[in-house]
């Protein structure tokens, strides 16, 4: 995907990348993101609370609130549009505290999430709902990471290239 006047960023996120961005900036994201929706978030926060190992190291990582559809033959992934971010708000402050630094989704965030972003230095990117097929073109590799029983909502590792997003909020 191509965006005019976009800022290229490479994941994982660092404090320097986060501090260089401002709400309204258009970015092209390249690197690894992990997909997770509410059921996966619930399991991850339960693991954190119980001191259990996590399916991936949260430190510096970015979660994309999506549940990619199965890939058609010859494709890396099926359509993978964003889900409403507020569905994850009950779990997100704990993940940010544990090291999560980026989130990609759509819609507004709660005061608790925005407070955690400010306290720990995280950033929230927005992508356009309804553009699932276009977003899928940015995915170069897709691998199941955890919670296969959740189907399309399992945690997946996506290697993305030039995923266009807008900075909506940051700490």
Beta-carbon contacts of residue 132 (< 8 Å; ≥ 6 apart) = 69, 79, 80, 81
Which pLDDT does position 4 carry in this prediction?
61
pLDDT at 62: 98
Report the CATH number that the domain containing residue 28 is assigned in CATH: 3.20.130.10
Strand partners, 9: 29
Is the residue at 30 inside a domain?
yes
2 found inside a domain: no
Range of the domain at 118: 7-170
* Three-class SS state of 149: helix
What pTM does this model have? 0.94
pLDDT, mean of residues 27-51: 97
Whether the per-residue pLDDT at 2 is higher than 60: the answer is no
> Does some domain include residue 20?
yes
**Number of compact structural domains in the chain:** 1
């Amino acid at each position: 995907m191509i965006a005019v006047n976009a800022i290229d960023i490479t994941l994982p996120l660092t404090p320097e990348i986060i501090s260089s961005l401002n709400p309204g900036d258009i970015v092209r994201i390249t690197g690894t993101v992990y997909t997770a929706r509410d059921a996966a978030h619930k399991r991850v926060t339960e693991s954190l609370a119980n001191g259990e190992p996590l399916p991936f190291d949260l430190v510096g990582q970015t979660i994309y609130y999506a549940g990619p559809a199965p890939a058609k033959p010859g494709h890396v992934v099926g359509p993978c549009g964003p889900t409403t971010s507020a569905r994850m708000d009950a779990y997100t402050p704990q993940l940010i505290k544990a090291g999560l630094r980026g989130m990609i989704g759509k819609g507004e965030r709660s005061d608790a999430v925005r407070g955690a972003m400010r306290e720990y230095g995280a950033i929230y990117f927005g992508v356009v709902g309804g553009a699932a097929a276009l977003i899928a073109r940015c995915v170069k590799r897709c691998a199941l990471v955890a919670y296969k029983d959740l189907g399309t909502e399992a945690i997946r590792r996506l290697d993305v290239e030039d995923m266009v997003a807008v900075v909506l909020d940051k700490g």
